[in-house]
Amino acid sequence: MTQSKRPQLTGTPRPEHPRPILTRPQWLNLNGAWSFQTDPDQIGQAQGWPNALPAPDVIIVPFAPGTQASCAACPQDCQAVWYERTIADLPWSSAETLLHIGAADHTTTIWINGHQVAHHRGGYSPITTNIAPFLRATPNRIVIRVSDTTSWQQPRGKQAGDTRWPIDYDPIIGIWQTVWLEPVPAVRVSQVHYRFDLAEQRLTVITQLSQHSDVDIEIELQQPNGQPLYVRGSAKGRSAVSLSLGISNPRLWHPEDPHLYPVRIRLIEDETETDCVESYTGLRSLSVADDKILLNGEPVYLRGVLDQGYFPEGWYTATTDSALKQDVELTLALGFNLARKHQKFEDPRYLYWADRLGLMVWSEMPSGRIFSEALVTDLTQEWTALVRRDQAHPCIVGWVPFNESWGLWHQSERREQRHFADAIYHLTKALDPTRPVVTNDGWEYSTGDYWTLHLYDSTSAALQSRLASLTQNPAQSIHDGPNPRSGALAGADPRHLPLLLTECGGIGLVTNPDIGAADAFFYGDMPQDASAFLARTAELLNAINDTSKLRGFVWTQLTDVQQEINGLLDFHRNPKVPLQALRKLIEQTGSGPVLQ
């Protein structure tokens, strides 16, 4: 990552609404230039920095320090950074003013005019706090401290900590999603969830309120013919209200027709509107029958790609909303219908474009790698918040709380680790009973709705042989070498579930002259050129296509990232081989005939 010496700011970066699933017309984007200071010795609190930063530089929010887009240098070993901004008169008067931070990695403390107002743990979950009691006439000073650690006891995904695998990348610290203010009433809509029953043709809207209330809730759903549907009910002293609408001849959300229904939710007291939010939903159902995956009652073959979610210049943060849209468009153009967002909960704007353009998504929790009470606490809290944040998006068709037993290395010997994985599965089902959960993607199945395997066998014969052996005996080792992992844990038999190959491929091709083959990471032997790369890709996709038990696959991976050069695209989103040639291979996989 590189930095410019001084920011060249033209307009507000990332000006679009950061939470498109739930919007109000009035809000204030705080992205842009902030005062910034690193705190490598962590002396800021003791020296009174919450009141004012002593010698700040400038950073461009929402880009993490150390990235080119942030224009702010930050040593990789710095574990505390500070932000400061003064805001003038707010263009509203309201009961409460919420300060939102989309995400900041990892522990965030906020002061308003010297008063501490919030403390948050978690590098991916949103931060929201009411700052109204601490505001004065003008001006108002916001100070934010964000600290991180190198510990693998916290969920950090593929950000390198105190040890680095060949598959890890440079870490981040600090704010990496939009900061914004929003005026709201004391009793307001805080979240909305949707559940569609295909057989009953009924949509249930679950409105979460900021507090217990007797307010009335009115739901308006705009139909494709322009006619609205309404339902109204009372909260009756509760903070969550479920209201249902029958929908005749619903236009179902599907990758080939990602229709979205506009939704308006109003809160009403004494026949006066007190809050109004705009939302949307896609009507679709997910189920499993006879080991097949059903979307809207019809079998669907998942053609997925592993997507790490790193971007030129912004690293963890796309520099523009168009860059997020482009990643969705490229994924679809390659012939995939699913993205597995790997070890990162993505910006909600990505989900918005997936909703609109018809890309299915698996959302995956960033892992820790050391099992401890700290990891149990942090992961449970953050996972819960993220499922609640995103479950309204129709594009999400699966939750993945764990990957390859990371942080759960000893499930076979230590019962508490297996209990934790199983408990997160059931917690997720309690939060969202409508979606499949892949509890531990890759191997060591204990509980879950699909059986998923990670196999990087470099020939079609080896891949088919391995899959055949595992389907005969799931308890056998999934790969050779040290620290073997079984396909399923003792007492668990997933053979009745849909079988998916959720990591495969990983074929490398160096297109970046700055990366030598000796420094690169990939699977198998390196093809000599683009033609050999395409031939190897076709061979493995043929093996997948010929395995009739498979209900889908996830190819590694969409783009190169640092030393990992096994992307179908390079880091700047340029295809390594003609895109149409890849699309032809990928679209035919799962259709039955042998690929050419």
Hey, is 87 helix, strand or coil?
strand
Give the amino acid at 346: E
Mean pLDDT of 522-545: 91
Indicate the pLDDT class of residue 138, thresholds 50, 70 and 90: confident
Mean pLDDT of 22-41: 97
| Total-model pTM | 0.96
Mean pLDDT of 162-190: 93
Hey, is 99 helix, strand or coil?
strand
| 3-state DSSP of 463-483 | HHHHHHHHHHCCCCECCCCCC
pLDDT score at 429: 98
Indicate the pLDDT class of residue 4, thresholds 50, 70 and 90: very low
Is residue 35 over pLDDT 70?
Answer: yes
Q: 91: which residues sit within 8 A by CB, 6+ positions away? A: 26, 28
Q: Between β-strands 302-307 and 338-341, what pairing exists: parallel, antiparallel or unpaired?
A: parallel
Is residue 417 over pLDDT 80?
Answer: yes
Each residue's pLDDT tens digit, 259-317: 999 999 999 999 999 999 999 999 999 999 989 999 999 999 999 999 999 999 999 99
pLDDT score at 480: 76
Is the alpha carbon torsion for 15, 19, 21, 26 positive or negative? negative
Mean pLDDT of 226-237: 96
Each residue's pLDDT tens digit, 356-414: 999 999 999 999 999 999 999 999 999 999 999 999 999 999 999 999 999 999 999 99
Q: In what order do the strands lie in the sheet with 238-246?
A: 189-197, 202-213, 238-246
Hey, is 166 helix, strand or coil?
coil
Mean pLDDT of 343-360: 98
Is residue 118 over pLDDT 90?
Answer: yes
DSSP secondary structure string for all residues of 272-307: EEEEEEEEEE----EEEETTEEEETTEE--EEEEEE
Helix 348-357 × helix 321-333 angle, to 10°: 40
On average, the pLDDT of the chain sits at 94
Is residue 594 over pLDDT 60?
Answer: no
Q: For the stretch 518-530, what's the b/e string if a residue is b when 16 or more beta carbons lie within 10 angstroms of its beta carbon?
A: eebbbbbebbeee
**Closest Cα partner for 255 from 288, 191, 298, 214?**
298
Hey, is 349 helix, strand or coil?
helix
CA distance 382 to 428: 12
Q: 17: which residues sit within 8 A by CB, 6+ positions away? A: 23, 27
- 228 token code pair: 């609205």
Give the 3-state secondary structure percentages of the chain, helix then strand then coil, rounded to 5. Answer: 15, 35, 50
Q: 519: which residues sit within 8 A by CB, 6+ positions away? A: 563
CA distance 131 to 301: 48
CB atoms inside a 10 Å sphere around CB 307: 28
Is the alpha carbon torsion for 485, 486, 489, 495 positive or negative? positive
CA distance 380 to 268: 35
The Cα-based distances of 79 to 5, 46, 76, 280, 310 in angstroms read: 21, 16, 8, 39, 21
Mean pLDDT of 215-231: 97
Phi/psi for 484 (5° steps) reads -65, 150
- 499 token code pair: 């079988």
Mean pLDDT of 508-519: 74
Hey, is 134 helix, strand or coil?
helix
Could you tell me if 443 and 485 are in contact, meaning their C-beta atoms sit under 8 angstroms apart?
yes
Mean pLDDT of 456-484: 85
| 3-state DSSP of 528-585 | CCHHHHHHHHHHHHHHHHCCCCEEEEEEECCECECCECCCCECCCCCECCCHHHHHHH
- Identify the H or E element spanning 36: strand 32-38
Could you tell me if 520 and 570 are in contact, meaning their C-beta atoms sit under 8 angstroms apart?
no
Rounded (5°) CA angle 64-70-74? 65
End-to-end CA separation in angstroms for the chain: 40
Could you tell me if 264 and 275 are in contact, meaning their C-beta atoms sit under 8 angstroms apart?
no
pLDDT score at 165: 85
The Cα-based distances of 319 to 52, 162, 179 in angstroms read: 29, 28, 15
